[in-house]
Every structure is written in structure tokens, then in C-alpha cells.
Structure 1
Amino acid sequence: MTTGERAPQGVSTRIGTLQFTHDFANGYPSRETLETLFDARDFQRACQAYLWALPAASFVAWQQGVSGLGAGNGQIAAFLTYAARKGILTANATTPYYLGFADLSDGPLIMEMPEGVRGGIIDAWQRSLPGTEKAGRYLLVAPGTEPPQDTDGLAVRQSATMNIMIGVRLTATDPVKMDAALAAIKVYPYAQRERPPSTPILDAGTTAWSATPPRGMEYWALVNDVLQREPAQPRDTLFWAMLRPLGFEKGKPFSPDQRQTALLTEGALVGEAMAKANTADRRFADVKYRPDSHWDFALQLDADNPDAFWDLLDERAAWFYEAVSAGPDMAPKRPGPSSAYLGAYRDSTGAWLDGGRSYRLRVPPDPPVGLFWSVTVYDVDTRALILNPQQIADRSSRMPLNTNADGSVDIYCGPTPPPGNEQNWIPTVAGRNWFAYFRLYEPQQAYFDRSWPLPDFEPVP
């Protein structure tokens, strides 16, 4: 429209599932059009805020889930069974998890991370506290507080948020080494440093629980929880301002009115749909492992500049919609003590992976790993381990798999087992679509230069 032209009197538009007509008959909008435009603004903000808030909302859902199992502040819980690990977004079904959450507003904590474990400490936006994936004695301090004067023998780490998560994974197979590592893990208040108490580990057992963020208004309740209890980060100031007209304000109760509730409810619905599309069809630069397959780099974090990842709205939303925590050792750029993640959502024909169809993944010989590799299948809706009667979600090189003459391994995914190859089979469920992660523990050079191919899942009769 050029200068001097009159705005059209009626412009049709859609907000969510509702159709509206904008009326600019005399230049200014009518009263009805004003309300329509403000509703459109706030609905669009809710959709984008859903994507932005995923790391923090997921953290709170995770923390509440673990707390619901009976874990106290700073207590470690062990997730050893299939049922327990099914509560975690895209958990590895091969290795045990040991997780705990802590609120630093109660005072500084000391975390003793022994040798022989893989772990790390993250804040409420799921950013790693630098260096905490390594063995050491860490003094964890709340934001805006001075560390104690006596820090001898302690590596001081100040969190940007009050709440943190401590995670440990054991990759050793020797039971003696595993028991020794577990016994050496300690989390205790700084005030008890002279006589550190033991750290009892809570067994999560087989109790059903979930760290998957809820839907609808429950999602926004988690977002408000973050607003109320955590310091605002500079990079998030604009988003918090965008949410103010929808009832979010620090220090005030979250009590949205009927209009705000309707917009937030639909914003969560459409926002999650956007998140699912953004994850399953990643439209980012250099996201493909190789041009001859559909495998994506699941986590596009630059290990040499990890903090920049939290400025990438779509890339971080693609990861945190289906996964938890992110650090340099989860997106390595060179060989070392790390792990790499590739994700697949389509088969070799480009069709979505279907729980009612059968597929074969041929893992080529000589996988570039220092420890082991695994293939894990997840439910698209829950983003957790696939729920099948067999409680089998993965196959890995640590298992006794059938191997082809050339050293390759065929992994089968489908509702029925392949004849003579059941030990290489991951059962899927008709009517429940799925996606897969291929993990490489201690990836080697052939992964980084992408010379080792990983074919797609091939449909089989």
C-alpha cells in the first residue's frame, strides 16, 4: 500500500481457530477490531513464549516429578528400572541415571563428583555450570551471594538460578567400580563440610512418574513458577515483558482472567504443535549428519561457545522439546570423553516412522566409538522411552547382538519380531509413531569428519 492510499475497510484474518474481520473504515480501528488485534498480539506472544520457555518449564516439571518420588533437597535418586527411566525425556535405556535437585536459597552446597562417572550440574534454564562434568569437589553458590571465605579444596561455581539439578551417569560395567563410584558421590550443605554426612540414594523403583511438561494452563503455571522464584536473566527480559498482558508479573499471583486463560490455553496448544514441527523437521543450517540420510544432529550446541545456544530460539526449542540438559560434552567437536546424539524421524522414503510398520537399520561395521553405541526408540507424543509390553526400547553394542559377516549389525523396529533375529529387535506399537536416537559414546574421528555413514531406517515387508 503506497502513501496516501486508504487502508482496506475489511481485512480477514485468523487467530488460532477463530476467524475475524478487521475494520479500518475511517483509518482508526473499530472497538471490535481493537479487541481482535490485541487478542491476536497476545495469542502470537503465547505461541512464541511456549517455545522460549521450554528449557525452564521442562526443568520445573522434572524437579516436581523427582520431588514427588520422595527425594529431598539435594538428595540423589536412582533411576535403574525401565519404568523409572520412562519418566525422563529421551532417557538412555542402557545406562543408569542418578539425579537430584537442590534449592540454593537454603545455603551453599558441596558436591563431590568422583572419578569414573559422567555427570554435570545445570541451572533452572538447563545451562551447564562450567566444568562440572569432571570429577571434583564443587561449592555451589546461589546467584547474588558472596561465596564463603573458606573455599580451600573447593571449585566455586555460582549458579545463575536458585534451583539446580545434579546428574550422574555410570558408564562402567564393572560392578565393583560402579559401587565405589556411587559410594563416593556426596551432596551436603557447606555448613557440614567438617563432617560431611553420607548421601543416601533414593531408589525410584517402578513408580510411574513423568518429567514431560504438562499441557494447557498447567504449562503456564510452570512458567510462572520460574518467574516467581528465579532471577530474571538479561536475555529473557523482553519475553517476560511480552507476557505481562497475559497475567505474568513477578511478585504477584498468577490469576489470568477468562480472556487471558482462553488465549494461553490455545497458545499452549498451538505452541506445542509448533515445537513438535520444529523438532521433527529441523530447518537449520548443517543439521544433517550426512546428505545421504535423514539423521539429524539432535543438539546443535557449539562446544567452544556453549552459552550462545541459549540465544538460538528455534534450535534450543528443538532440543528441549524432547530432551533435557545441554552441555559441551553432549555436542562434541573432537574426540574425547563425551557423547554424541543423532536423531531420526523419517525412514529412507521420507515418511514418518510408523509404529505399525517394520524397519531395518543397518549399523555399518567399525562404528567410531571408544566405548559403545546404542539405538533407542521414543514415543513421539511423550518423548519418553517407547511403552511396549516387552519393555524394550533400545539395542546397543553392549548387548549380545547378531552380527553380519562384514561386521555390520541389523537393528529391527516393528510390531512383530524378525524371524531368527529377535535379540536385535525393538518392539513398536501400532498407532503410536516413534523417533530414534543413535548415541555414540566417546565418538571418534570418523564421526566428526562424517566419513562413517549411518543409513536410514529401511521399511521391510
Structure 2
Amino acid sequence: MKKTVLIIMFAGLLSVSCKQSPKDENVGSDNSSSAATSSELPENGSIETPIGKLTFESGYPSKETVQKLYDDMDFQRACQAYLWGIPAVGMHEWNKAYLNEMKGKNNEMVSYLDFKEKLGILTPNYTTPYIGTFIDTEKDGPIVVELPAGLMAGMILDVWQRVICDLGVVGPDGGKGGKYLILPAGYKKVSPPGYYIVQSKGRMVFAGVRLLGDDKEKAIKELIPGIKTYTWSPSGTGEIRPVRRAGDVKWSQMPPRGMAYWESLNEIIQNEPVDERDRLFLAQLRFLGIEKGKPFNPDARQKKILEQGALIGEAMAKANTSDKRVEPPFWPNTQWKHALAVSVDQKTPYYDQLDERAAWFYEAVVISKGMLTQTPGVGQRYIASYSDKNKNWLNGSKTYKLHVPANPPVTQFWSVTAYDEGTRQMQVTKQGRPDISSRKEGIQKNSDGSIDVYFGPEAPAGKESNWVQTNPGKGWFAYFRFYGPTEAFFNKSWALTDFEEIK
């Protein structure tokens, strides 16, 4: 299926109104109907536009046209607000699953170690153990996150997934361990000895780490017992909360669809302070029933527009993510692009990033400086592909080969993981393993040290150890992760080729 099929998703929206424009020789004359090819609106009469026919009387839009314009204005705003809200809604949904399905206590660290526990996360790494917590700073006040010395990396984020502080080997402790004191917004400045001070700007905070050691079981056994949280005050510390397993529960942090998306976004708006950058979005949402300090009770008109806005907003998010116009190919003439195209503060010198953050957080969660490393041998980098070398979407009914050249540029390990297009979570197949990594036992190497990895519904004969199963009839995409990328990654002297369909 060609990439152009994405455009079809929008064709139905515009097919009624986006007709070929007739000549505009009658623009401005009484009772005329013309196309919107003129730079002037008619004094009297009608004009055909991409949103349908607009009628004017003595220069004013007719009452029907006024309503039509307001409906379209609100619809366009709903679509853009959907893209704007993606980072916060994704994080908020995880927080709700943490509290409800996992029965997590405020600031209690929870571990995600196996396939089932990670399944609700957007694009996790199959092989990497995760530990994380959500902190409601308004309820518990200052909280300490204590880390032991060891090979781990992580971050502290606000609800919009902006980095407040990195943790572990990429943080101020440098992998030597330390105590991070997270202060609520507006809390008086304190500097107790022995703590790294982290000042929150909002109410909800996420703190998490991933374990990076090559011996997964050893890392779990030695490091997790040293990870803990507890409350802090000038007079002392509270009860220590150790890490516990998320457990075998069904959950998902995927942003919900339809009205549930807006209900989730409204909860965030009611609970969090308003950033200066977001005031114009909140000005637009008030006409759709979402206003800080007021109950969310949209009328029938607003509900219809919000439901349509969520539908088309997600279609826009799919296009914006899988065919990133904000990002060039990482290796020239390939389909591989940076998965993570947003900066840790979501800013550039001249604008705040909107499309960039929507592209990442629609299909993924969390960000850190380490995940955007520019230092050889430190941190991680993620490169994504959604298409084969012929620019066709990756399809679970077909079989592909990915050639991984010898000597991948990593000091730790590499992995390539297949994700379901619809859920952006790890594929669930009978095989039960959605990736291949350099840490996998029994992987077959070619005589020159390169590796061929196969993706498809059935394993090619003799290639079972190098095969990842896909689901027929479903789209999928891949992340190729570099842990501790070396200079050959940055100067691109080492490069991947595209997925190649094989018969």
C-alpha cells in the first residue's frame, strides 16, 4: 500500500467542499455564486470555498454562514488542540493506570520487567527493565527519589513530558547514585546537604529509570533494592517505599479516542498550572466547553465537533508521525528517520515545538537528554522506519529482511523492535518476542560479522533465530536503538539499509 493512502483519510472530509473552482467572473455581483479564487469576499451573493458555500448580504455573512464559520473555526481548533494535548494526555493516562489498575500509591516506584508488564507502554524496549513513579506534589509535598550507584539512566518530567532533570549516568549523579529532592511548585527554596534539588513547575511529576547492564537479571537483583522514595521535610524524612512489580494486569497509556480524549485533557487543564505558551490554546478550547475552573459539560454541537476533531486530529497525528516532514532521513536515500524529533524543553530559538512533540509522543513516552545524546559512548539514540525501500508501508502480511552491517556503532548493545501501528505498543504474536538484539542468544551471523533480521508472519526456512513475527493484515513499524552510540553513528560511516521485501 502506497504512502499516498494517508491522504485518502482526509479526502472524505474535503470531498463535498473542495470542488474545482469555477471562474470568478461573477465575484461581487448580486445573487452570484463563485469560487474562492478572488482576494475579496462578495458584497452580496455566494462564494464556493474549501469549507463549502458562504453567503453574504451587504458585505455581512448570512446568519447561516456565521454559524458555518464558527463550526468550522471550532473544528479546526479541535484538530490542532488534539495535537497539542498528546504529550500530556499520554502521560495522564499512564498515571491513571498506575493508580487504578496497578493500585500504585503516590510516589511508589513500580517496575516493568517482563513483556506483559510493559505491554501498556508506548514503544518500550523489549529487553530493558523499567522502573517509574508518579508523584502528586500537591498531596505529599517534597519527595525524595534515591538511586544506587550503577548503570542506569532516566529522567524527571512534568505532565507535558518536559525534562526537569536527568537521572543516573546522564544525570548529575553520573551513575554514582544520589538523592533527588523534588520540590512542589512554589515551595520555598531549600538546599539541604546531600541532595540534588529538583524544582517542579507543575503538580504531577514522573520519575523513572531504565537499567542498562548487559546482565538483566543481575541488574534487577543488585540495583532495584537500592531504588526507593520517601517524603521529606526540614524536620526529617518519611516512610521508605521500595520498588514493587506492576503485576500481571491489563493496562494502557495510549491516548483514548472520541470524547474520552477531551475528558482526559480537561482533567489535566483543571489540575495543572497554565503555561504562558498555552494560553492561546485555552482561549480556543473555551468555546468547546473546556475552560479552567469550570465543569466540562459540552452541548450536543460541541460534542459533535470534539468527536470529529479527535478523529481527524488522530489522522493528522498518524501522518505527522509516520511520514515526518519535520525530519529528514537520517541516512541519505533511506526511509530511516529520527524517532525522537523533539528537544527536551520542546523549544527552538524562535518557536515552541508543536508538530515535533506530537510526532514523538503520539507513538512514544518519556524523553531525556540521554535519549538525544551527542556524546559518543553515552546515552541512547532511536531511529525509526515505517516503510520498505520501495516506500511502501510495512505490512504484517509480508516478509522483510533487514541487513545489519558488521560492527554496529555501540558500546553497550543494539536492538530492533516491531510495534503495532494501531496501538504503538509491542506487537502481540504467538512468538511472544517483538525484537532482535545483540544480546539475544543464538543469533546467526554472516561470515563478515553482519546480521540479517527477518520480519514476517512465518520464519524463512533456517532463519528462526533471526526472525520477528508480524501479524497479517496489520501495519507495523520499527525502532532501531543504539545504546552507547559511537562516533561511527554520529558521522554516519556506519549505516542501515532499508527493509527489503522478500518473496
Superposition TM-score tier, normalisation by shorter sequence: over 0.9
User: Secondary structure at 1:78's aligned position in 2?
Assistant: strand
User: Counterpart in 2 of 1:115?
Assistant: 149
- List aligned pairs for 1:15-164, cutoff 5 A: 20-68=52-100, 69-106=102-139, 107-116=141-150, 117-133=152-168, 134=171, 135=173, 136-147=178-189, 149=190, 151-164=192-205
User: Matches of 2:220 and 2:235 in 1, distance apart?
Assistant: 25
One-letter code aligned to 1:335: P
- Structure 1 contact 380–434 (Cα < 8 Å) conserved: yes
User: Counterpart in 1 of 2:45?
Assistant: 9
| Percent identity between the two aligned chains | 42
**CA offset at residue 193 of structure 1?**
7.7
- Note if 1:327 corresponds to 2:373: no
Residue 3 to residue 294, structure 1, CA distance change in 2 (3 Å): closer
User: Counterpart in 2 of 1:347?
Assistant: 388
User: Matches of 2:357 and 2:223 in 1, distance apart?
Assistant: 32
Residue 2 to residue 356, structure 1, CA distance change in 2 (3 Å): closer
User: Matches of 1:75 and 1:122 in 2, distance apart?
Assistant: 16
User: Secondary structure at 2:267's aligned position in 1?
Assistant: helix
- Structure 1 contact 81–206 (Cα < 8 Å) conserved: no
- Note if 1:429 corresponds to 2:434: no
Residue 307 to residue 26, structure 1, CA distance change in 2 (3 Å): closer
**CA offset at residue 453 of structure 1?**
1.1
User: Matches of 1:360 and 1:278 in 2, distance apart?
Assistant: 26
Within the candidate set 234, 244, 247, 2:276 is matched to 234
- Note if 1:204 corresponds to 2:204: no
- List aligned pairs for 1:157-196, cutoff 5 A: 157-174=198-215, 175-191=217-233, 194=236
User: Matches of 2:448 and 2:309 in 1, distance apart?
Assistant: 52
- Structure 1 contact 55–317 (Cα < 8 Å) conserved: yes
User: Secondary structure at 1:450's aligned position in 2?
Assistant: coil
Describe the superposition over 1:66-110 as per-residue Cα deviations: whole angstroms up to 9, x where unpaired: 222111101111112212211000011011111211100021101
User: Matches of 1:430 and 1:246 in 2, distance apart?
Assistant: 40
Describe the superposition over 1:112-154 as per-residue Cα deviations: whole angstroms up to 9, x where unpaired: 122222111111000111343524211111112214x462211
User: Matches of 1:193 and 1:390 in 2, distance apart?
Assistant: 54
User: Matches of 2:181 and 2:427 in 1, distance apart?
Assistant: 38
User: Matches of 1:88 and 1:3 in 2, distance apart?
Assistant: 49
User: Matches of 1:121 and 1:311 in 2, distance apart?
Assistant: 20
User: Counterpart in 2 of 1:368?
Assistant: 409
User: Counterpart in 1 of 2:445?
Assistant: 403
TM-score, normalised relative to structure 2: 0.86
Residue 306 to residue 71, structure 1, CA distance change in 2 (3 Å): same
User: Secondary structure at 1:375's aligned position in 2?
Assistant: strand
User: Counterpart in 1 of 2:7?
Assistant: none
**CA offset at residue 3 of structure 1?**
8.4
Identify which range, 189-198 or 43-52, moves more after superposition: 189-198
User: Counterpart in 2 of 1:337?
Assistant: 378
- Note if 1:456 corresponds to 2:498: yes
Within the candidate set 283, 286, 304, 1:262 is matched to 304
Identify which range, 201-210 or 445-454, moves more after superposition: 201-210
**CA offset at residue 274 of structure 1?**
0.1
**CA offset at residue 201 of structure 1?**
2.3
Describe the superposition over 1:290-321 as per-residue Cα deviations: whole angstroms up to 9, x where unpaired: 11311001112457x76449811111110010
User: Secondary structure at 1:372's aligned position in 2?
Assistant: strand
Unmatched 5+ stretches in structure 2: 1-36
**CA offset at residue 398 of structure 1?**
0.3
One-letter code aligned to 2:47: V
User: Matches of 1:387 and 1:184 in 2, distance apart?
Assistant: 32
User: Secondary structure at 2:370's aligned position in 1?
Assistant: helix
User: Secondary structure at 2:182's aligned position in 1?
Assistant: strand
One-letter code aligned to 1:12: E
- Structure 1 contact 139–155 (Cα < 8 Å) conserved: yes
- Note if 1:415 corresponds to 2:465: no
- Structure 2 contact 230–237 (Cα < 8 Å) conserved: no
- Structure 2 contact 255–261 (Cα < 8 Å) conserved: yes
One-letter code aligned to 2:130: Y
Count of aligned positions: 454
User: Matches of 1:5 and 1:271 in 2, distance apart?
Assistant: 29
- List aligned pairs for 1:269-284, cutoff 5 A: 269-284=311-326
User: Secondary structure at 1:132's aligned position in 2?
Assistant: strand
One-letter code aligned to 2:459: P
Residue 368 to residue 137, structure 1, CA distance change in 2 (3 Å): same
- Structure 2 contact 227–242 (Cα < 8 Å) conserved: no
User: Matches of 1:223 and 1:97 in 2, distance apart?
Assistant: 26
- Structure 2 contact 132–208 (Cα < 8 Å) conserved: yes
Structure with the greater alpha carbon radius of gyration: 2
Describe the superposition over 1:140-169 as per-residue Cα deviations: whole angstroms up to 9, x where unpaired: 11112214x462211111112110111111
- Structure 1 contact 78–98 (Cα < 8 Å) conserved: yes
**CA offset at residue 337 of structure 1?**
2.2
- Structure 2 contact 145–179 (Cα < 8 Å) conserved: yes
Deviating above 3 A after TM superposition, structure 1's stretches of 4 or more consecutive aligned residues are 1-8, 12-15, 173-178, 191-198, 305-310
User: Matches of 2:353 and 2:311 in 1, distance apart?
Assistant: 22
One-letter code aligned to 1:380: E
User: Matches of 1:4 and 1:358 in 2, distance apart?
Assistant: 55
TM-score, normalised relative to structure 1: 0.94
Residue 6 to residue 83, structure 1, CA distance change in 2 (3 Å): same
Residue 446 to residue 32, structure 1, CA distance change in 2 (3 Å): same
Describe the superposition over 1:360-391 as per-residue Cα deviations: whole angstroms up to 9, x where unpaired: 00101010001000000000010000111221
